[in-house]
Structures are given as structure tokens and as C-alpha cells.
Amino acid sequence: MKETDLYPPIKRFLESQGYTVKAEIKSCDVMALRGDDPPVIVELKTGLTLQLFYQAVDRLAVTDAVYIAVARPKRGVTLDALRLTKRLGLGLIVVAKSGSIEVLADPAPYTPRKNSARKSALLKEFSRRHGDPNLGGSAKTKLMTAYKQDALRCLAHLHTHGPTKISELKKQTNVDRSATILRNDYYGWFFKHDRGVYAVTEQGIAAVTQFQREITNLLPAPE
């Protein structure tokens, strides 16, 4: 579909709601008026682009009723694109090849509900993580998380002191989740040596060498 193919369905849709519709008014692709209602502006593009969002946001200086209209993507509009549209206070219309119209969002102030669970998880990870071991923008690499730091504390103690009871390990390392870390053994570093007693696997011994610098940074400074 071309941009001009989007106009007739948009015009019919708005006229069916009582609007008078005209194209290319100044820099606006579509403008519609109905009585004393605020003007409706629609920006047309064959696909969602940053340029389209820029244009639409600029039109908000004229009216709050700004829509972007695009040809229906083969795989549909992504959730991220819809969220961005709502976040900017814009409306979103998709036009099918048949000329049918679907309004996915109407212009409205964006007031997202806060996710207290996500916020709590972020604050907990921030407070538990020792130092700042990662490089910003490196999310695609293996990160040093607070959980991994706690696992390294357990690993260092077990490697130095040998098989240890969970209760003693927790006391010596101050890692409250020692039992969970050892039982889940996410990294393959630990094994159950006896009832309530854990030791280090061959993989764990190798990890001591691999993460020696990180372990040194985690251990308390000698008095």
C-alpha cells in the first residue's frame, strides 16, 4: 500500500462519525472537523517509523486529538509500538488492504500503573549487589548479579574450608539465601556431601580460578 491508499479509508471512517475531512492542510496529512470538537489530525505512513512519531508529536501543539495511521503490518503492531504510541498520548489506526479500519488506541494522557513487584525486585537487586561489576549497555553479555555474587561467597568459603553445614556457611558468609543457592545449584558448583553438608564440584573449583578477581573483591578486607 502507498500512503495515498490510506487516505480514502481514513476519510470514510471519519466522515461516518460526522466529521468534515480534508487532506494536506498545511503540513498535516489529514484534518477533520466536527462542530465545536477539537480538530482531529491524522498522519499517514505505510509503516511505523520514528519520523512518523516526530510528526505526530509536533501536531500535539495544535490539538490533543492526533492519530497516526499505518498499513496493517503482516505480523501486526508490536506491543512495544503500541505502548510508545500511548506513552506519547497519540492514537493509532491500522488500515487493511481491504480498506477496513481498526483503531488500536485513542489519544489520551498516558498514566501507566506502577508495578510494585518489579520496583521491589529492582531495589532489592541494587541493594544486594556488591559494587558496580558490570558495564552499562552490556546486557547481552553474562552479567554479575547479586545472586551470583552470593554464590561466589559460598563457593570461596567451601573451597577454602571444605565441606560445611549450611547453617555454618550462612553464619560465616552472611549469605541469607545460602540454602537456596546450594540446593538449586544453578551454576553447577556445589554438591551434597552429607545431610545438610555441601562441598565444591570440579566445575566449582574451576570457577574459583575463573572468578578469582571477583571473589577477592567480595571478601572482607583483612584487618
Q: Which domains does the chain have, with CATH numbers?
A: 3-105 (3.40.1350.60), 130-218 (1.10.10.10)
Q: Using one digit for the tens of pLDDT, what is the confidence trace for 8-57?
A: 999 999 999 999 998 998 888 899 999 999 999 999 988 888 889 999 99
DSSP 135: -
Compute the distance between CA of residue 107 and CA of residue 57 in angstroms, rounded to an integer: 11
Please tell me the pTM assigned to this model: 0.64
Q: Using one digit for the tens of pLDDT, what is the confidence trace for 55-95?
A: 999 899 989 999 999 998 888 888 888 888 999 999 999 99
Burial class (CB in 10 A: 0-12, 13-18, 19+), 175: buried
Residue type at 106 in one-letter notation: D
SS3 42: strand
The string of DSSP codes covering 178-221 is HHHHHHH-TTS-EEEEETTEEEE-HHHHHHHHHTHHHHHHHSPP
Q: Name the percent of the chain lying above pLDDT 70.
A: 96
Compute the distance between CA of residue 101 and CA of residue 219 in angstroms, rounded to an integer: 62
Q: Using one digit for the tens of pLDDT, what is the confidence trace for 90-131?
A: 999 999 888 889 999 999 887 767 788 888 988 898 899 898
Residue 222 has pLDDT above 90, yes or no: no
What was the pLDDT predicted at 140?
64
Q: Which residues pair with 69 in a beta bridge?
A: 44, 93
